[in-house]
Amino acid sequence: MALLEVQSIVSGYGGMEILHGVSIKIEPGQIVSIIGPNGAGKSTLLKTVFGLLAPKAGHVFFDGREITGWSPDQIVRLGMCFVPQTENVFPSLTIQENFEMGAFIRTDDLRDRLALVFDLFPDLKTRRHVKVGALSGGQRQMVAMGRALMLDPKLLLLDEPSAGLAPKMVELIFEKIKEINRAGVAMVMVEQNAREALKFSDWGYVLASGENRFEDSGPALLQNEEIGRLYLGG
């Protein structure tokens, strides 16, 4: 059974329709990349899946139940978390306080989970009492991912995790994504750095003009000459 299945979703903003019947499927433990040109509807898809936008048609199933039209606070309790591209941390709070805020619905002792998440991000562990506003863009991105992981999700939605980062930090972020995945968390990742993302993705989808254009394994999409010419810069 698929962990996440999106069937023919139609969605957008107000009267503007952005997605025209998009479908994707994610199996447990997979990394799935969604690529395509700007304006293709990639971020709109993630926001619709997570309940930030209400679909006009179609269905979303997560972990065996339909969640179409559910609110984010309902969805997060099922084990799905979303890391948006911007405004994904609390700059005035410390790293540890951000992590603790990520566990807002938990009522148990957070110490074990906090220790596990800090172990994933040792650079943050040594600076746990530093305010996030003082961190670099890459460090903030790691805080955002760590905050989402505090709920021990089954699925993590990542919107442009490497956007605007220096090449070395992009490499580090991708390594952390792979490490999180090895710990058992499935991921759906919207990523402009498509070539690098597809290298380690189990599956990939190419969206264009709000519609499905291609899907295949990450390596197969990389080897597709048409996709390379149209969507990967040659």
Q: Residue 23 is part of a domain; what is its CATH number?
A: 3.40.50.300
- Name the residue type at position 130: V
> Which of 170, 144, 168 has its CA nearest to residue 157?
144
Structural tokens at position 75: 């969805």
Structurally, how many domains does the chain consist of? 1
CA-based torsion, 32, 36, 38, 42: positive or negative = negative
Distance separating alpha carbons of residues 70 and 77, to the nearest angstrom: 11
- Residues β-bridged to residue 83: 158
| Domain housing 208 | 4-231
pTM strictly above 0.85? yes
Q: What does the pLDDT profile of the chain (234 residues) look like in tens digits?
A: 899 999 999 999 988 999 999 999 999 999 999 999 989 999 999 999 999 999 999 999 999 999 999 999 999 999 999 999 989 999 999 999 999 999 988 878 889 999 999 999 999 999 999 999 999 999 999 999 999 999 999 999 999 999 989 899 999 999 999 999 999 999 999 998 999 999 999 999 999 999 999 999 999 999 999 998 888 875
- Name the residue type at position 133: G
Adjacency order of strands within the sheet including 203-208 = 80-83, 155-159, 186-190, 31-35, 203-208, 211-216
Is residue 221 a contact partner of residue 202, using CB atoms and an 8 Å limit?
A: no
pLDDT at residue 201, rounded to an integer: 97
pLDDT at residue 6, rounded to an integer: 98
